């Protein structure tokens, strides 16, 4: 039985060591959990901003890129410290329910409706999003929805609702349940329409046979806010880190970086800095 006991001792020692080492490693730098949308990660913006923030503040940022819906769900459970999200109606609800503090405007870009070049629903030239989604529904053209409670999905549901169309369950309406980039790939392969933020579309444009068909409607505005998670409900929230990150996002220096990000690669900025502006000036 001797060897067996020795082996078990070894197992226990190894496990203790690993768990101990892991928790030490986690505790060493002050960690901050940022829950955000896939668009900020997929566009590459966070790859520029996060290292700068880490260097300046000394925090170690754990970026968890999920949809806005899931990001807010994490905030509600105290599993994230700060949120960078783009789902204004849900955000307002989140704030009213007391889960967040200090919601601040960071930047915007816009949503566009993209589709296959042959444009079976004849969207090209359509001015408003409501008219566009009606055309898709009436022609029964394939539409790919995120279906993941992300900010883009929330916006899309709002468009259907505004047009008075019940898309869910229709044969031409398919939900991917995937991120923006993946959903655009599916749309391109299946020659369907999709709603996307301009940033992700531009980042993927070289591989996609999809064209922008509808843009510029005020209802297609895509606004990003930073929200600090309310520490009153969850004591483990990193309050100081969350505030530091939010302050960083609206600082002049970072706003300037946001305004020029993507210009070298796409010839136009992917995001427009808005810190300090009143929401009304954006038409919200």
CA distance 206 to 211: 11
- Report the C-alpha dihedral over residues 156, 160, 163, 165, rounded to 10 degrees: 170
Residue 221 CB neighbour total at 10 angstroms: 16
Of the candidate residues 136, 137, 184, 254, the single one contacting another protein (CB under 8 A)? 184
Tell me the two tokens of residue 31: 């960690």
Closest separation between CB of residue 155 and another protein, Å? 19
Which one of 86-94, 164-172, 202-210, 216-224 is the stretch in contact with another protein (CB under 8 A)?
202-210
Q: Which is nearer to another protein, 21 or 232 (CB)?
A: 21
- Burial class for 63, CB neighbours closer than 10 Å (0-12, 13-18, 19+): middle
- Under the criterion CB under 8 A, does residue 118 sit at the interface with another protein? no
Of the candidate residues 110, 119, 182, 211, the single one contacting another protein (CB under 8 A)? 182
Closest separation between CB of residue 5 and another protein, Å? 8
Q: How many Cα atoms occupy the beta-carbon half-sphere of 68 within 13 Å?
A: 26
Q: Which of 257, 247, 199 is nearest to 223 (CA)?
A: 199
**Residue span 227-266 as binding mask against another protein, x where in contact by CB under 8 A, dash where not:** -------x-x------------------------------
Q: Which is nearer to another protein, 1 or 169 (CB)?
A: 1
Write down the H helix ranges in the chain: 2-27, 38-42, 45-57, 68-76, 88-96, 129-139, 151-162, 180-190, 198-204, 239-250, 252-260, 263-266
Closest separation between CB of residue 164 and another protein, Å? 33
Residues 16-75 that bind another protein (CB under 8 A): 18-19, 21-23, 25-27, 31, 33, 38, 41-42, 47, 50, 60, 62-65
Q: Considering CB under 8 A, how many residues would be counted as binding another protein?
A: 48
Length of the chain: 284
- Under the criterion CB under 8 A, does residue 207 sit at the interface with another protein? yes
Task: State the Cα angle at 150 between 148 and 153, rounded to 5°.
Answer: 80
- Point out which residues bind another protein (CB under 8 A): 1-5, 7-8, 10-11, 14-15, 18-19, 21-23, 25-27, 31, 33, 38, 41-42, 47, 50, 60, 62-65, 77-79, 178-182, 184-185, 203-204, 206-208, 234, 236
């Amino acid at each position: 039985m001797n060897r067996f006991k020795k082996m078990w001792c070894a197992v226990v020692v190894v496990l203790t060591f690993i768990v101990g080492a892991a928790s030490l490693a986690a505790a060493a730098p002050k960690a901050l959990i940022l829950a955000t949308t896939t668009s900020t990660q997929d566009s590459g913006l966070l790859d520029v901003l996060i290292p700068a923030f880490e260097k300046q503040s000394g925090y170690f940022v754990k970026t968890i890129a999920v949809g806005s819906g899931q990001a807010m769900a994490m905030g509600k459970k105290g599993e994230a410290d700060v949120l960078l999200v783009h789902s204004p109606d849900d955000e307002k609800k989140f704030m009213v329910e007391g889960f967040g503090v200090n919601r601040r405007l960071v930047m915007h870009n816009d949503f566009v409706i993209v589709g296959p070049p042959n444009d079976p629903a004849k969207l090209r030239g359509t001015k408003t999003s409501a008219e566009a989604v009606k055309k898709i529904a009436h022609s029964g053209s394939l539409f790919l929805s995120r279906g993941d409670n992300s900010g883009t999905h929330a916006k899309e549901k709002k468009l259907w609702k505004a047009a008075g169309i019940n898309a869910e369950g229709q044969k031409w309406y398919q939900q991917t349940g995937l991120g923006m980039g993946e959903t655009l790939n599916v749309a391109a392969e299946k020659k369907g329409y999709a709603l996307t933020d301009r940033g992700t579309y531009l980042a993927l444009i070289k591989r996609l046979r999809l064209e922008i068909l509808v843009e510029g409607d005020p209802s297609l505005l895509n606004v990003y806010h930073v929200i600090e998670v309310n520490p009153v409900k969850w004591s483990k929230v990193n309050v100081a880190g969350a505030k530091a990150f939010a302050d960083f996002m609206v600082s002049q220096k970072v706003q300037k970086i946001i305004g020029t990000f993507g210009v070298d690669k796409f010839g136009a900025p992917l995001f427009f800095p808005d810190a300090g502006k009143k929401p009304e000036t954006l038409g919200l």
